[in-house]
Every structure is written in C-alpha cells, then in structure tokens.
C-alpha cells in the first residue's frame, strides 16, 4: 500500500447506504478520506462491510458533486448558471411565495428523503409545516417502506419494527418473504445459520442469491404471497399449532379471521401460488412448531398495491402463534435507506413527530405545548403523499416542487407522468449533493448540499438502533449541509428564532427532538450522542417491542385482519405477455448518483440487463447477450442486454432499476397501494423484442 493511502486519523461513523446501519471507521490522511473498514466493536456488523460500505469514502472526491447554487436565470430552456447563495435563496423564496400567494400555501409540494440525518429531517418538518405552511410533504421512503409503516399500524396501532437483528440468529425458523438480503442488505446474511438446526425458508418468485441460501425456496407466482400467508394460517389453525392463550389475551377479531382463512386450503393455495400443497403443509408445520419463528420482508411485499395488507397478513401469523416480543420471534420489516426509520419517526409525513397522530387532539396539543405554539397551527390530517403530489403537479394544483436528496426521474414509476409533473410545475428546486442528476435537468434551481461524511448527526436503522454519523471531510466548493440550508431559509422567512430558538448545530435539533420524542414509543430521550457513539448505537424501545403483549391500540390488543388476494393491476395478455419484476443489485445504490461515480462499483455493473427464462428466449428466438427492447403500454426501455437464465421463471422477466440510461421506470405502472400510497414496482405487463433503432 502506498503511503498516500495510509490514514493518519480514523473516524467512527455509520454507513450512508442501506438500513442495516453498519458501523464504520473511515481513515483520512491530511484531511482527505483514504480508507474505510468495518468497526469491529459495532454491534450491527462486527467489523464487516459490503462492497458499497468499503468504497463509500470514494464518493467524497468523485466528479459531479454540486459545488455552487445554479439557477436557470433565463427561464426554462436556458442553461443553469452559477449564482450566489443569497440570490439562490432569494429567488427560491420569492418564486414559491408568489405561487403560494396566487394559489394557496399547498401549491408547494416537498419531497424529502431517508438519506437525511434524523436531526435534519426533524428540522425540515418544522420548516415545511410551520414556515411554508403546506401539508403536501412526504419522503421518498413512500417508494420503499410506506407499506411496512401502514401494515404495522393496521395490526399493532403504531409503526415500529418489534424485533431486532439478533432474532435472525436465535430463531428456529426464518421465513423471508420477498426479501433478497444477499443483494440488498448483505451484512444481514451473517446473522443466518448461527443457530444449529435453524431452517431458512425464502418465498420469492425469482431464484435470488438469498433463495440460493435457503433450505426451502418457495418460487411462488408473483403477488401470491397473501394466499401463501393465509394458507399457512389455515394449517396452523386446522392442526392446533396456535397459541390460544396469546390470541385470547392479546388479539382482537380472531373468530372472524379464523372463519376467513377456512377457504385457504392447501389445495386452493397451491393453485394460486403454484407451490405443491405438501410444501405449503411442510412450511406451515415448521413455522407452527418452532419455539421461535421470525418473518422478515422487504420490497417484494412493500412494492405492491396490496403492500400494507400483506404486512398485516404477516403480522397475523406472528400474532396467532405468539411469535412476537420474544427472542427469535418477530414480524420484521427490513427497511431500505440508511435513515428510513429516523425520518418516519421524526417528520411530518405519515405522522406528526414522535408517531403522534394527526387526528388526535391530545397528540396535537402535546406537540404544540412543547413547541410553544397554538395547536391550530398543526394539521389535523396529512397532506398529499408522494404520488399524489406528482399527480397534483400534473393537474396544476401543485405548482412548486422541492426535491431534497432524491432523484425521481429514475426512481419514480411511470416516468411519463413524472416528466409531465416536472415540466408542468412552474418552479422546481433540486437540493442534492450531485449536480448532474437526471432530475436536476428539470430544475429551475439547484442547491448544492453536503453529503454523508460531511455532516454530523444520527441515523436509525431497521432494528430501531440509533447510530452516530460523523463528519470527516469538508463539503466541496460552496455546498452546505441540508441543516444549514433549512436554517438559512427560516432566517429569510423571519422565523428562525421561532422555529429554531438558539439553534446553531444539528445537536441543537437533537436536543429538541429528544424532548419531542420523550415518553413516546420511539423515545430518543434516554441517550446522548456520546453514549450512542461509544456503544455503537442504542435501540429505542430496547431489544424488542410488545414483550408484555400490550399494543398501542385502544384496549391494548393487536388486530387480526382478513386479507383477500386481489389480482394485480396489469395482467399479462396476448400483446404484453411477460410480468416484469424490478429490483436491485449489490453493487449499486438506488439511482447510482453515488455508486455510479465510484469506478470500482460501476465497473462491475455498468449497465442494466434483462433476465429471461431459457424457454421463453427459445420461443422468441433470442440468444444470450442479444440487445432487446422492453415495451409496455406506457413506453419502451430500449437496447438492454439479455441474460438468459433459469433464475427467472417462464412468463416473468427481471430488470434492475438503478440505471438512468436504461430506465426501467419508463415501463413500470403508476399503480399505488390505497393505504400506504407505495408504488406497485414489482409487476407490470411487458413484451420483449429484438432491439430496433427506434
């Protein structure tokens, strides 16, 4: 190793990619990041990192960082030109202010992100709600975790994953539904198979890397997971493998539920899922006889028009067997982004800060009292969710859009509608650490933001563990931390002292957030930043929630739900014969604004591909590595490499979504879960043809 790569200082921090929340040590030499390694003392990853974490420090000096505010001074169709921060913030406030005076405050839609620190998201929520006075505010977490949030609320009365990663080690049975952790949460794979005799079952239509690790892979038909879950419940009840005491003491609506699942016989479920009835019986018996059983899920469940109720169907199994609140026993959503959890607890999106309910007078009064404001300044209902903000922009009900550290041009479904929203809106602000994102091409104003490694605060991971994030590098050029940008805007609105009294740093936001969360389910008040850093993170709520069987619903009982299986929105037909499934690969993160700029990651996977079963390829006379077009009713993704492989079933195709140049969201469907508003990214109907120059 050359001297130039030998660190003179090591800084503890937390990985800024996925929600596993690995602890890292980043080495700097003369103030420049030169190395990263896993923190051996961190309880999450115990010294290990995946390829993204190991190379994350390279992003800080990568080309393409936003270094100065940029304004399309001559209007749309003219280039973005560098301007001062003063001019940028003045223009932003005057354009938004003019649109709000003309059209009402809610003409502003704001999309935040699970990439922000909890302290920043908390600060932003106050600014949007009390400063800009719009409820049309959501996070990009609605594209990944909203169904888990809604499903937990349906069953337990509140969001909050009940378990911990340690449960994956102590469970007798681990059932993963629609969850490819080997690609998406790789460090969690180290938790599996620690216990002798543990059985790993993976339900996934595709033979993912995680499915390859399983003792039993259930290659069920797309979106038949509800039938499988109801079918397992049917067998558990039929064969007496339920916890009658737990059901009687801690649940509601059992009789209705028991009657509902009677129709889900193994034969019926076999017909719906395509799985052999005896396999369904075996899986139910393994789950039902386990002393401790764990069900984990991610996007295969959440990315569905039935995502929230599928989560409720998972929770049903845990509740009727008493597999909750004990070591190894949990229904557990594995979140997406590094701070998806922190943002859903501290913001104004699906709940008021501290999981307070919009429609609760006492919750609003309590929050208003802490802030020293009148409760009538707090909304009594949430505003528009992310997809509804986009639709409102198309309909000209939302005329100003502010995107913070998110890149919807690549990540939002049904690109054409999104494009229409971005071009119809009269003023679009993109605040990001990278200048050349596909979304900034639509921006009237770009605000350059600091990124991971350049700011200090906390993230909260999938197991509710709050971890410290530290700065070890300076933002490039004039880029500023998002926190500073929010305070500067409040300053210009004349509201800084009212919203952020005496605040200068994110630690000031942390101290207020502790007071706001104190006594709530997500209580951050017992911990100091120093303790969090020294101990490698602290879990709010302790190891597990609901250990006493008491749930935050009126009456304290969890609710069992009857969840029907509905057909998905767009069935394949003669013209569009394949079901397209979209997902991720281990080398890349979301829309590649970061990983695309890291040569060692991008070099491994520089382009998208389409997976197709050999039977289908033969029928269509396609050969390995042919270039193909993927065509839906909405648009075409052109010139994609074909990979012919048995890991995808006949009639289905798979494509990663990370790539702007071959954007899978050109063809995906604008269909959303009616409860969570999460998009149905996992199924749309397409046809595949030899690539033609269109």
The CB-side HSE value for 50 (13 A sphere, CA atoms) comes to: 27
Instruction: Specify whether the CB–CB gap between 479 and 433 falls below 8 A.
Output: yes
- Closest contact distance (angstroms) between CB of 28 and ligand SF4 is 19
Give the residue with the Cβ less far from ligand SF4, 117 or 443: 117
Who's near 479: CB < 8 A, 6+ residues apart?
65, 66, 67, 433, 448, 449, 450, 454
- Closest contact distance (angstroms) between CB of 280 and ligand SF4 is 32
Binding window for ligand SF4 (CB under 6 A); candidates: 47-55, 274-282, 472-480, 598-606: 47-55
Give the residue with the Cβ less far from ligand SF4, 50 or 628: 50
Binding window for ligand SF4 (CB under 6 A); candidates: 142-150, 185-193, 374-382, 663-671: 185-193
Give the residue with the Cβ less far from ligand SF4, 50 or 479: 50
Task: Return the residue of 7, 12, 13, 22 that touches ligand SF4, per CB under 6 A.
Answer: 22
Smallest Cα–Cα separation from 608: which of 638, 649, 645, 652? 638
Give the residue with the Cβ less far from ligand SF4, 49 or 92: 49
Binding window for ligand SF4 (CB under 6 A); candidates: 10-18, 231-239, 593-601, 614-622: 10-18
- Closest contact distance (angstroms) between CB of 261 and ligand SF4 is 36
Give the residue with the Cβ less far from ligand SF4, 217 or 588: 588
Task: Return the residue of 7, 13, 17, 366 that touches ligand SF4, per CB under 6 A.
Answer: 17
| 556-583 residues labelled b (16+ CB within 10 A) or e (exposed) | ebbbbbbbebeebbbebeeebbbbbbbb
192 contributes a contact to ligand SF4 by CB under 6 A: no
Task: Return the residue of 25, 49, 88, 686 that touches ligand SF4, per CB under 6 A.
Answer: 49
Give the residue with the Cβ less far from ligand SF4, 22 or 283: 22
Give the residue with the Cβ less far from ligand SF4, 60 or 312: 60
Smallest Cα–Cα separation from 513: which of 483, 485, 543, 492? 483
CA distance 508 to 493: 20
Smallest Cα–Cα separation from 140: which of 114, 159, 118? 114
Binding window for ligand SF4 (CB under 6 A); candidates: 142-150, 182-190, 605-613, 682-690: 182-190
187 contributes a contact to ligand SF4 by CB under 6 A: yes
Instruction: Specify whether the CB–CB gap between 238 and 289 falls below 8 A.
Output: no
Binding window for ligand SF4 (CB under 6 A); candidates: 12-20, 297-305, 321-329, 339-347: 12-20
52 contributes a contact to ligand SF4 by CB under 6 A: yes
DSSP assigned state of 32: E
Judged by CB under 6 A, the chain residues 512 through 541 that form the site for ligand SF4 are: none
145 contributes a contact to ligand SF4 by CB under 6 A: no
Task: Return the residue of 25, 26, 50, 466 that touches ligand SF4, per CB under 6 A.
Answer: 50
Q: In the beta sheet, which residues pair with residue 582? A: 655
Judged by CB under 6 A, the chain residues 392 through 451 that form the site for ligand SF4 are: none
Distances from the Cα of 481 to the Cαs of 254, 405, 438, 473, 505, in angstroms? 50, 11, 21, 12, 10
Give the residue with the Cβ less far from ligand SF4, 187 or 522: 187
CA distance 469 to 465: 12
185 contributes a contact to ligand SF4 by CB under 6 A: yes
Binding window for ligand SF4 (CB under 6 A); candidates: 50-58, 535-543, 630-638, 651-659: 50-58
Smallest Cα–Cα separation from 124: which of 457, 503, 116? 116
- Closest contact distance (angstroms) between CB of 36 and ligand SF4 is 9
Quick one: angle between helices 482-492 and 85-103, nearest 10?
Answer: 60
Instruction: Specify whether the CB–CB gap between 298 and 336 falls below 8 A.
Output: yes
- Closest contact distance (angstroms) between CB of 83 and ligand SF4 is 35
- Closest contact distance (angstroms) between CB of 146 and ligand SF4 is 20
Binding window for ligand SF4 (CB under 6 A); candidates: 45-53, 395-403, 572-580, 654-662: 45-53
Binding window for ligand SF4 (CB under 6 A); candidates: 15-23, 79-87, 320-328, 650-658: 15-23
Give the residue with the Cβ less far from ligand SF4, 21 or 679: 21
The CB-side HSE value for 258 (13 A sphere, CA atoms) comes to: 15
- Closest contact distance (angstroms) between CB of 463 and ligand SF4 is 12
Task: Map tokens 């949460």 to a residue.
Answer: 185
- Closest contact distance (angstroms) between CB of 242 and ligand SF4 is 35
Q: How many residues bind ligand SF4 (CB under 6 A)?
A: 14
- Closest contact distance (angstroms) between CB of 186 and ligand SF4 is 5
20 contributes a contact to ligand SF4 by CB under 6 A: yes
Give the residue with the Cβ less far from ligand SF4, 114 or 354: 114
Instruction: Specify whether the CB–CB gap between 140 and 411 falls below 8 A.
Output: yes
Distances from the Cα of 674 to the Cαs of 305, 309, 497, 632, in angstroms? 7, 10, 39, 23
Give the residue with the Cβ less far from ligand SF4, 21 or 433: 21
Who's near 459: CB < 8 A, 6+ residues apart?
14, 16, 21, 117, 118, 338, 339, 341, 342, 466, 467, 469
CA distance 659 to 44: 30
- Closest contact distance (angstroms) between CB of 19 and ligand SF4 is 7
- Closest contact distance (angstroms) between CB of 277 and ligand SF4 is 37
- Closest contact distance (angstroms) between CB of 24 and ligand SF4 is 7
Smallest Cα–Cα separation from 246: which of 514, 463, 546, 509? 546
CA distance 649 to 656: 16
- Closest contact distance (angstroms) between CB of 591 and ligand SF4 is 15
Tell me which residue has its CB nearest to ligand SF4.
53
Quick one: angle between helices 266-273 and 225-238, nearest 10?
Answer: 170
Binding window for ligand SF4 (CB under 6 A); candidates: 13-21, 66-74, 374-382, 593-601: 13-21
**Angle value at C-alpha 477, between 475 and 482, nearest 5 degrees:** 45
Give the residue with the Cβ less far from ligand SF4, 27 or 186: 186
Element (H, E) at 126: helix 118-126
Distances from the Cα of 186 to the Cαs of 52, 181, 207, 623, in angstroms? 10, 6, 16, 31
Give the residue with the Cβ less far from ligand SF4, 18 or 666: 18
Who's near 619: CB < 8 A, 6+ residues apart?
none
- Closest contact distance (angstroms) between CB of 18 and ligand SF4 is 3
Quick one: angle between helices 146-156 and 307-320, nearest 10?
Answer: 40
| Max intra-chain CA distance, the chain | 72
385 contributes a contact to ligand SF4 by CB under 6 A: no
CA distance 310 to 296: 12
53 contributes a contact to ligand SF4 by CB under 6 A: yes
496 contributes a contact to ligand SF4 by CB under 6 A: no
Give the residue with the Cβ less far from ligand SF4, 18 or 258: 18
15 contributes a contact to ligand SF4 by CB under 6 A: yes
CA distance 88 to 85: 5
For 178: left if phi > 0, alpha if psi spans -120 to 50, otherwise beta; the answer is: left
Judged by CB under 6 A, the chain residues 314 through 373 that form the site for ligand SF4 are: none
Can you give the binding site for ligand SF4, defined by CB under 6 A?
Answer: 15, 17-18, 20-22, 45, 49-50, 52-53, 185-187
């Amino acid at each position: 190793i050359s001297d130039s790569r030998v660190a003179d200082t090591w800084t503890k921090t937390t990985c800024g990619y996925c929600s596993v929340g690995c602890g890292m040590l980043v080495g700097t030499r003369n103030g420049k990041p030169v190395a990263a390694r896993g923190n051996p003392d961190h309880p999450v990853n115990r010294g290990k990192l995946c390829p993204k974490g190991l190379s994350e420090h390279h992003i800080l000096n990568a080309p393409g960082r936003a270094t100065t505010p940029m304004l399309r001074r001559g209007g749309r169709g003219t280039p973005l030109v560098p301007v001062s921060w003063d001019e940028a913030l003045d223009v932003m406030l005057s354009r938004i202010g003019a649109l709000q005076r003309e059209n009402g405050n809610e003409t502003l839609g704001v999309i935040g992100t699970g990439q922000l620190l909890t302290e920043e998201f908390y600060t932003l929520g106050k600014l949007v709600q009390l400063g800009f006075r719009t409820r049309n505010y959501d996070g990009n977490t609605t594209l990944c975790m909203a169904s888990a949030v809604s499903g937990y609320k349906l069953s337990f009365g509140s969001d909050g994953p009940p378990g911990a990663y340690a449960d994956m080690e102590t469970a007798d049975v681990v059932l993963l539904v629609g969850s490819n952790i080997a690609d998406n949460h790789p460090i969690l794979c180290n938790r599996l198979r620690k216990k002798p005799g543990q059985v790993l079952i993976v339900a996934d239509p595709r033979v993912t890397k995680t499915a390859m690790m399983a003792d039993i892979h259930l290659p069920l038909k797309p979106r038949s997971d509800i039938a499988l879950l109801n079918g397992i419940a049917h067998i558990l009840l039929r064969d007496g493998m339920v916890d009658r005491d737990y059901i009687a003491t801690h649940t509601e609506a059992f009789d209705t539920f028991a009657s509902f699942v009677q129709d889900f016989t193994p034969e019926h479920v076999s017909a719906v899922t395509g799985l052999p009835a005896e396999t369904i019986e075996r899986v139910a018996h393994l789950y039902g006889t386990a002393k401790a059983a764990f069900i984990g899920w991610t996007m295969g469940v959440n990315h569905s028009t039935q995502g929230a109720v599928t989560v409720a169907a998972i929770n049903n199994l845990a509740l009727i067997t008493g597999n909750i609140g004990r070591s190894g026993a949990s229904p557990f959503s594995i979140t997406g982004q590094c701070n998806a959890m922190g943002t859903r607890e501290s913001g104004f999106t699906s709940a008021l800060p501290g999981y307070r309910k919009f429609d609760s007078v006492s919750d609003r009064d309590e929050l208003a009292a802490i802030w020293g404001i009148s409760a009538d300044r707090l909304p009594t209902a949430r505003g528009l969710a992310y997809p509804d903000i986009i639709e409102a922009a198309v309909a000209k009900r939302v005329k100003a859009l502010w995107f913070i550290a998110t890149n919807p041009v690549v990540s939002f479904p049904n690109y054409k509608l999104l494009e229409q929203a971005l071009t119809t809106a009269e003023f679009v602000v993109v605040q990001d650490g990278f200048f050349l994102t596909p979304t900034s091409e639509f921006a009237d104003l770009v605000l350059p933001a600091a990124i991971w490694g350049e700011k200090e605060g906390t993230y909260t991971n999938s197991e509710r563990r709050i971890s410290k994030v530290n700065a070890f590098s300076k933002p490039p050029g004039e880029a500023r931390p998002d926190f500073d940008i929010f305070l500067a805007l409040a300053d210009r609105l004349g509201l800084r002292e009212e919203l952020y009294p005496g605040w200068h740093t994110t630690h000031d936001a942390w101290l207020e957030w502790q007071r706001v969360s104190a006594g709530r389910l997500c209580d951050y008040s017992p911990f100091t930043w120093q303790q969090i850093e020294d101990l490698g993170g602290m879990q709010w709520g302790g190891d597990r929630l609901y250990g006493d069987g008491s749930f935050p619903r009126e009456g304290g009982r969890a609710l069992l739900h009857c969840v029907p299986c509905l057909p998905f929105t767009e069935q394949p037909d003669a013209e569009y014969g394949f079901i397209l499934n979209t997902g991720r690969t281990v080398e890349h993160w979301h829309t590649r604004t970061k990983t695309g700029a890291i040569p060692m990651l991008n070099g491994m996977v520089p382009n998208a591909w389409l997976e197709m079963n050999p039977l289908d390829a033969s029928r269509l006379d396609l050969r390995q590595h042919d270039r193909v077009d993927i065509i839906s009713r909405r648009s075409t993704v052109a010139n994609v490499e074909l990979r012919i492989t048995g890991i995808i079933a006949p009639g289905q195709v798979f494509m990663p979504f990370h790539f702007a140049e071959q954007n899978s969201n050109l063809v995906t469907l604008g269909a959303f879960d009616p409860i969570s508003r999460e998009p149905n990214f996992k199924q749309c109907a397409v046809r595949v043809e030899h690539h033609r120059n269109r």
